[in-house]
């Protein structure tokens, strides 16, 4: 096929080709957002990434005349398949130049591998869990890219659909101008919650304070995210790794926790948009890249909403509104101008309604695709 060879990554050079190919594909694109390479080197390391304990994975690179032209990762998440009684393989971290024959070769290689493993469907882009970039962006390319989301070229959408893949599920991204005043319904909810004296909102000023609650928050995430497509519960070791990865770039004032009877009833995590800093350091945090990321996090006028959850027995009592309002208050004090919803599942009508209530509009859309592997 035009001299294209797809090889499984088996050497340090091939792994280097896999990790750094995207920045070659997108060279010259001023707005392209690179990954944090320190994280990528951990993500693709089978000895260090604990996800490989419950998932099979295969990294592949397409070469033509010895030069890398594309990459893809195949995953079989045995834990997720067991929980949901599925036999689905996944593809993710796919990248190539505007060459449909390379795209076809890569995708065919993963389909064949997944079929050999007994999978009935292939879905993607979808990583180990919903915490990895998921889906191909299909709309809103005129808006800035953001961290932990797909940063694909528009032609990738044409390629995947020409391969017979269909929509599995869409995710949307809202952008909200910072409201000058809260909707009246929020004020009524806050008054009702505060009158009960049953709940205590906990706010933070230092990262040391955060360390005491981050693991309990991730435990609550395991419980509350069980209904979200693609989510896989974190193990204890993964919780610690996840915390250590994000604490350096979190701003304590944008994290809120609600306590009730001595236990965590809900949490919400916002984060200043660090994308300009990542772009400035080209994804390389060492030796001085982290300083650029932290500097840009102080300058940014956009707040990213990253995570949040409320225990089932406390839902419908206004705790999500309480935490949201407290984050808004902190954002206003910090002179933020925009709120970015990050990714919201299209069928999460409650969350979508909340963003629309404060004037949010959908600016980006991402799609996870699927295809039957039965012949």
Where are the alpha helices (H) located in the chain, listed in sequence order?
Answer: 12-25, 37-43, 78-84, 100-116, 155-162, 184-196, 207-224, 236-246, 275-280, 289-299, 319-333, 349-357
Give 58's pLDDT tier (boundaries 50, 70, 90). Answer: very high
* Cα 56 to Cα 77: distance, rounded to the nearest angstrom: 7
Q: Is 340 within 8 Å of 302 (Cβ atoms)?
A: yes
* Cα 355 to Cα 359: distance, rounded to the nearest angstrom: 7
Q: Are strands 88-96 and 121-124 parallel, antiparallel or unpaired?
A: parallel
Could you tell me the pTM of the whole model?
Answer: 0.90
Topology of 4-172+368-372 in CATH? Answer: Aminopeptidase (3.40.630)
346, exposed or middle or buried, with CB in 10 Å at 0-12, 13-18, 19+? middle
What local confidence, expressed as pLDDT, does residue 229 receive? 81
pLDDT tens for residues 108-119? 999 999 999 999
Nearest CA-CA partner of 250 in 267, 285, 274: 274
What local confidence, expressed as pLDDT, does residue 65 receive? 92
SS3 content of the chain, % helix, strand, coil (to 5): 40, 25, 35
Report the chain's mean pLDDT, rounded to a whole number: 90
pLDDT tens for residues 184-236? 878 888 888 877 888 888 999 998 888 888 888 888 888 888 777 878 788 88
What local confidence, expressed as pLDDT, does residue 28 receive? 87
pLDDT tens for residues 146-174? 888 889 999 999 999 999 999 999 999 99
CATH number of 179-336: 3.40.630.30
Is the four-CA dihedral 349, 352, 357, 361 of positive or negative sign? negative
What local confidence, expressed as pLDDT, does residue 368 receive? 97
Residue with the larger pLDDT of the pair 195 and 140? 140
Structure tokens at 281: 């350091």
What local confidence, expressed as pLDDT, does residue 375 receive? 64
CATH 3.40.630.30 domain range(s) in the chain: 4-172+368-372, 179-336
- Counting residues of the chain whose pLDDT is more than 90, the rounded percentage is 53
Q: Is 173 within 8 Å of 149 (Cβ atoms)?
A: yes
* Cα 326 to Cα 201: distance, rounded to the nearest angstrom: 9
What local confidence, expressed as pLDDT, does residue 1 receive? 55
């Amino acid at each position: 096929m035009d001299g294209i060879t797809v090889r499984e990554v088996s050497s340090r050079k091939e792994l280097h080709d896999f990790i750094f190919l995207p920045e070659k594909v997108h060279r010259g694109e001023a707005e392209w957002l690179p990954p944090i390479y320190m994280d990528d080197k951990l993500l693709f390391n089978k000895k260090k990434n604990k996800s490989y304990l419950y998932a099979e994975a295969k990294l592949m690179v397409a070469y033509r005349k010895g030069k890398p032209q594309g990459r893809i990762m195949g995953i079989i998440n045995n834990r997720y398949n067991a929980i949901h009684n599925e036999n689905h393989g996944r593809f993710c971290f796919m990248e190539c130049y505007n060459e449909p024959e390379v795209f076809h070769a890569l995708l065919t290689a993963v389909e064949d591998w997944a079929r050999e493993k007994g999978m009935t469907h292939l879905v993607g882009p979808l990583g180990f869990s919903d915490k990895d970039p998921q889906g191909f962006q299909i709309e809103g390319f005129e808006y800035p890219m953001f961290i932990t989301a797909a940063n694909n070229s528009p032609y990738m959408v044409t390629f995947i659909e020409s391969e017979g893949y269909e929509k599995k599920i869409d995710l949307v991204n809202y952008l909200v101008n910072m409201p000058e005043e809260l909707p009246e319904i929020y004020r009524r909810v806050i008054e009702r919650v505060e009158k009960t004296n049953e709940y205590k909102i906990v706010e933070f000023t230092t990262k040391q304070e955060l360390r005491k609650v981050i693991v309990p928050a991730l435990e609550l995430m395991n419980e509350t995210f069980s209904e979200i497509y693609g989510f896989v519960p974190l193990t204890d070791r993964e919780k610690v790794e996840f915390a250590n990865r994000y604490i350096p770039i979190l701003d304590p004032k944008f994290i809120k926790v609600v306590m009730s009877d001595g236990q965590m009833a809900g949490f919400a995590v916002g984060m200043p948009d660090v994308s300009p800093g990542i772009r400035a350091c080209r994804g390389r945090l060492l030796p001085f890249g982290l300083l650029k990321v932290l500097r840009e996090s102080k300058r940014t006028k956009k707040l990213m909403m990253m995570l949040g959850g409320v225990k089932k027995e406390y839902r419908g009592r206004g705790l999500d509104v309480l935490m949201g309002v407290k984050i808004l208050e902190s954002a206003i004090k910090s002179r933020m101008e925009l709120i970015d919803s990050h990714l919201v599942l299209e069928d999460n009508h409650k969350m979508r309604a909340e963003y629309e209530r404060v004037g949010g509009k959908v600016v980006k859309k991402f799609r996870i695709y699927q295809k039957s592997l039965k012949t």
